A and B are shown apart, each in its own frame.
Chain A
Amino acid sequence: AQSVTQPDIHITVSEGASLELRCNYSYGATPYLFWYVQSPGQGLQLLLKYFSGDTLVQGIKGFEAEFKRSQSSFNLRKPSVHWSDAAEYFCAVGATGTASKLTFGTGTRLQVTL
């Protein structure tokens, strides 16, 4: 079965600084990978996704992520963080043959200091 690890529970960065959120997955074949963001009291919004092809994917709000098969990673990056990026971020993996189900990581809470 597939699994996702987000090793950082909580990260604090200064506004304007760069950001990298880590995500490692476990799955034997090429997975479908997603990053979602959840603002306080809200549902989840899709930031970006990887299905195949170019391993560097661009998303909304200036985010990008890079799929590295050799490291089983799909880290999320942003060159300059804004205060409005403070939220919880979830990495998820989907595997073929699992009836479209996603397995989510436990999330990383991002705090942005001014």
Chain B
Amino acid sequence: DVKVTQSSRYLVKRTGEKVFLECVQDMDHENMFWYRQDPGLGLRLIYFSYDVKMKEKGDIPEGYSVSREKKERFSLILESASTNQTSMYLCASSLVSLASSYEQYFGPGTRLTVT
């Protein structure tokens, strides 16, 4: 079974703090994704990575950055947290193959509250 783990289930940070969200997958997947989930908005893609050190912006990258130094690990960074970044953050991974690359496996999520 593919396992995607996220470093924290719940996180409370103060406005202006630098926040790191970590994601690790154990199935040697090339693709990794960060989403945020808000009520009524579904999942929105923040960033994704298709290889080590490679990244592309998703639909809502403003205020976020990412790092992928190792294949299994993908980090989401909030350089200066703001209250409008309070949300559920979901990490996912997928294998690169013709169709399976679209089948994403999700971690349990990190609920971040910025006060």
Interface residue ranges, A against B (CB under 8 Å): 9, 32, 34, 36, 41-46, 49, 51-52, 90, 94, 99-102, 104-107
Chain B residues near A36 (CB-CB < 8 A): 106
The answer to whether B40 touches A43 (Cβ under 8 A) is no
Min CB distance B105 to A, Å, is: 8
Q: Which of B41, B56, B99 contacts A99 (CB 8 A)?
A: B56
The answer to whether A100 touches B90 (Cβ under 8 A) is no
Interface status of B15 (Cβ within 8 A of chain A) = no
Q: Are A32 and B99 also in contact (CB < 8 A) when A99-B56, A104-B42 are?
A: yes
Contact count band on B: 20 to 34
The answer to whether A43 touches B56 (Cβ under 8 A) is no
Interface status of B83 (Cβ within 8 A of chain A) = no
Chain A residues near B40 (CB-CB < 8 A): 9, 106
Q: Which of B41, B58, B108 contacts A101 (CB 8 A)?
A: B58
Closest residue on chain A to residue B38 by CB atoms: A106
Cα(A107)–Cα(B43), bound, Å = 9
Min CB distance B56 to A, Å, is: 7
Chain A residues near B43 (CB-CB < 8 A): 44, 90, 104
Known: A34-B103, A94-B102. 8 other contacts (CB 8 A): A43-B107, A44-B90, A51-B99, A52-B99, A90-B43, A99-B56, A100-B50, A104-B44
Cα(A102)–Cα(B103), bound, Å = 9
Chain A residues near B106 (CB-CB < 8 A): 36, 43-45
The answer to whether B102 touches A100 (Cβ under 8 A) is yes
